[in-house]
Amino acid sequence: MTTDTAKTSLGLALPALGLNAFLFILPLGYFFVVSFLQVKAYQIALSPTFGNYARALREYPDALLSTLGLAFIVAILVTLLGLAYALACRFLKESWGNLLLAIALITLFGGYLAKLYAWRTILGGNGIVNSGLMELGLIGEPITALLYNDFAVILALTHYTLPLAILPIYGALKAVDDLPIAAARDLGASGWRVFCDIVLPQCAQGLFSAFALTLLFVAGDAIAPRLLGGTSSTMIGVFIQNQFGFRVNAPLGSALAFTMIAGSALILIAVAFLGNRALRPRSAL
């Protein structure tokens, strides 16, 4: 590459880098610094410490782990469902595929809160599920176990993130050409082998984007657990919100957030590594 093209590509990248710095690096950098500071008399004091991280790991290990676990479950679930849905969009007859895609996009409308309250109504004591089951005579009284637990949180978060996850997977599948698929079948590959050997490796990046998107969203969410979750296993987002809120301990909140980010990053690195190994074509056996 000549210096000329290097210059122009840097020039082209500058606005994106600037936007990134403004929206992402600046605020995160600020909280990263804060996470090493202390609170004295409701004021942030400029005395560096690792104490916040020590406290985070000592006092909140359960919340950190269960949040990561829940985020992982939702991310896996959403990636698989998103893959199935995107496959249908890509490989069904064109008009049906487009219809499915349009439906996925339409469900993006309606805000996050509206969807959470919708689930509250659906799963609640007088909700559709309970009254339906009672109407059918399958149950005598409402099942209270539907709401205020991890199940409800997973359900709602899966529902909310699914259309977001479908898009990158569909984009990747759209780029998979028909001809190599035909060629693989011609060489004797069954539908399943075509899927594993030809389709999956080519949409790996889309799958990873969907997984990462979902994992990070769920790991950072504080609203679904508040509205739908139980009291037994509160997600870390709620604690972080509390620290920034009425506990007025931004350094501890920041440390919790960065511990969470580090945990998520570890999961993403592991998933990328394993996925890469699983999908790489075997070299000459």
Partner 1 sequence: MSYVAAMTEFQPLTTPAVRLSALRLSFGAHLAVDDVSLDILPGDFVAILGPSGCGKTTLLRLLGGFLTPDQGTIEIDGADVTSQGPERRPTNTVFQGYGLFPHMTVRQNVSYGLKIAGRSTPAEIRDQVDQALGLVRMNDFAERNSRALSGGQQQRVALARALVMRPHVLLLDESLAALDLKLRHQMQDELRRIHREIGGTFVFVTHDQNEAFFLANKVAVMNKGRIEQFAAPSDIYHRPSTRFVATFVGEANVIEGRRENGTVMIGDGQFLASSGPDGPVEIMIRPEDIRLGKDVSGAAMTLRATLIDQVFQGSFLKLTFAGESGRHYVATLNDEPRGTARALGEKLDLSWDIGRMRVFDKGAA
Under the rule (CB under 8 A), what is the footprint of partner 1?
A: 177, 179-180, 182-190, 193, 197-198, 201-202, 281-285
Q: How far, in Å, CA of 156 to CA of 74, rounded? A: 10
Q: Which residues pair with 39 in a beta bridge?
A: 44
SS3 39: strand
Rank residues 61 and 191 by Cβ distance to partner 1 and give the closer one: 191
Q: How far, in Å, CA of 31 to CA of 239, rounded? A: 16
Contact 70, 236 (CB under 8 A): no
Q: How far, in Å, CA of 249 to CA of 245, rounded? A: 8
Rank residues 184 and 271 by Cβ distance to partner 1 and give the closer one: 184
Contact 224, 207 (CB under 8 A): no
Cβ 25 to partner 1, closest distance in Å? 33
Cβ 188 to partner 1, closest distance in Å? 4
Cβ 282 to partner 1, closest distance in Å? 8
**221 backbone dihedrals φ, ψ, rounded to 5°:** -80, 140
Cβ 91 to partner 1, closest distance in Å? 15
